[in-house]
Amino acid sequence: AAGVIQSPRHLIKEKRETATLKCYPIPRHDTVYWYQQGPGQDPQFLISFYEKMQSDKGSIPDRFSAQQFSDYHSELNMSSLELGDSALYFCASSSAGGMFSGNTIYFGEGSWLTVV
C-alpha cells in the first residue's frame, strides 16, 4: 500500500540558508500535518492543512511557512536556518479532514535536516 512520501530524506544546510521539504500524502488523504522532532525529543506539531487550507498551527517559527497544493502534496519552507532547526521533520496524512474519527494519521519516514 502507498505510504506518505517525504523528500529529501537527508538534507545538510548552512546557517542562514533556506530549505524546502516536500510531502506526498497517501492517495485520497485530504489532510497533511508537519511535525518537528529534535534529538531525544517527542515530535512537536508545527502546522496542518485540510483541503489546501491551513487548519491548525502549532509551534511553527515565523521563519517557516508551508502550503498544500491542488494535488494535496505539501511543502515546508524554512528560511534563515539556525543550528537549532536541526531535527527530523515528519509529514503525516489522514482522511476526513482532521475531524475526530477512527481514521489513523500515518507518518512518512521523515526528513533529516542538519544545519551546520
Partner 1 sequence: AQKITQTQPGMFVQEKEAVTLDCTYDTSDQSYGLFWYKQPSSGEMIFLIYQGSYDEQNATEGRYSLNFQKARKSANLVISASQLGDSAMYFCAYRDDKIIFGKGTRLHILP
Size of the site for partner 1 (CB under 8 A): 24
Q: Least distance (Å) from partner 1 to the CB of residue 110?
A: 5
Nearer to partner 1 (CB atom), residue 33 or residue 64:
33
Binding mask 86-105 for partner 1 (x = CB under 8 A): --x-x-x-----xxxxx-xx
| Residue 44 CB burial class (10 angstroms; 0-12, 13-18, ≥19) | middle
- Non-local CB neighbours of 116 within 8 Å, separated by 6+ positions: 12, 13, 14, 15, 83
Residue 58 binding partner 1, by CB under 8 A: yes
Residue 42 binding partner 1, by CB under 8 A: yes
- DSSP result, 24-68: EPPTT--EEEEEEE-TT---EEEEEEETTEEEEE-S--TTEEEEE
Q: Least distance (Å) from partner 1 to the CB of residue 83?
A: 20
Nearer to partner 1 (CB atom), residue 81 or residue 92:
92
Residue 110 binding partner 1, by CB under 8 A: yes
Q: Least distance (Å) from partner 1 to the CB of residue 10?
A: 10
Distance between CA 40 and CA 51 in Å, rounded?
33
